[in-house]
Amino acid sequence: MAEKDMTEKTLEAYNDVFADIINVLLFRGERLVKEDDLEDEAPRSMYKADGRLHEEERDVAKRWKDCDVRIALFGIENQTSPEPNMPVRVIGYDGAAYRGQLLQDKRKTKRCCPVVTVVLYFGYDKHWDQPLTLHDCFQVPEELKPYVNDYRINLFEIAWLSDEQLSMFRSDFKYVADYCIQLRKKNDYSGPSETVAAPKEDTISHYDEVFKLFTVMTGDARFEEAASEVRKEGGSRTVCEVLDRIEARGEARGHENTLLVSVKNLMKSTKWTAEQAMDALGISAAEQEKLKAKLNL
């Protein structure tokens, strides 16, 4: 899961992808956050406790520069499986972010900026079934509830986004969301859905990151291999072109396997050599070389 998490972070760290996620999930598609208004924020927060220095790390963090209102910090946390202590983790991240602001402004003349953490859940085989609030993480006696501050996490289940939400994405994240949604609905992915409606000319901005993520999510190296071939050959860098390349390679392997079976059967029935059998079948010289490798000749 570490490789998947790192690949997700790499894609989300791009300002256009980060802004797109925030605008769709928090602002219902309204383009309030512009990619040029985002600055990278150090994902690590340092604080001192018990005489020792401690560190907490977010997945992705950005600072939103809105000169008319305030500066806000958005954080994204990625989850592929439900985490029972996520509210505890989030309150720790947010608390460290506020603490960091206080330490930066030693004169205490400025107010702290708001901190918003968004949790993206990429699981598709079941809904998130773990606590969404701090109170749900433990047993709180009714008499104490008024005195134990609660804390709610902002969780979004990517595989359960609506078609309307999916259609709002403009960045490469739409392909990731579409992939998760299709796996949930039909346990398969054969290309962009009608909701995404990616035309042949709809090229991917962050090409390598998208297909590395697809490779890690599926465990199928063909995504990255085919994407690399398209990039080297100067293709249009679309999801459709990569999937077409994967299909073509599959057909080529199927043709090669058929020839291999035919050669083996002919050798067995006639006692011919591999070369004789291939010549009799009219196999080209180039294909014969490939088959020889398969036959360990």
Residues 60-84 pLDDT 10s: 888 888 744 445 667 777 888 899 9
Range of lowest pLDDT (16-25, 204-213, 243-252, 276-285): 243-252
**pTM of structure:** 0.74
pLDDT digits (tens, 9 = 90+) for 131-166: 999 999 998 899 998 999 999 999 999 999 999 999
Which residue matches tokens 């946390």?
Answer: 77
Whole-Å CA distances, 22 to 52, 140, 151? 35, 33, 20
Whether the pLDDT of residue 100 is over 70: the answer is yes
Sheet arrangement for strand 115-121: 38-40, 60-66, 70-79, 115-121, 154-157
β-sheet bridge partners, residue 40: 62
> Rounded to a whole number, what is the largest CA-CA distance in the chain?
93
Strands 44-49 and 52-57: antiparallel
Retrieve residue 159's tokens. Answer: 């595989």
Retrieve residue 54's tokens. Answer: 């401690």
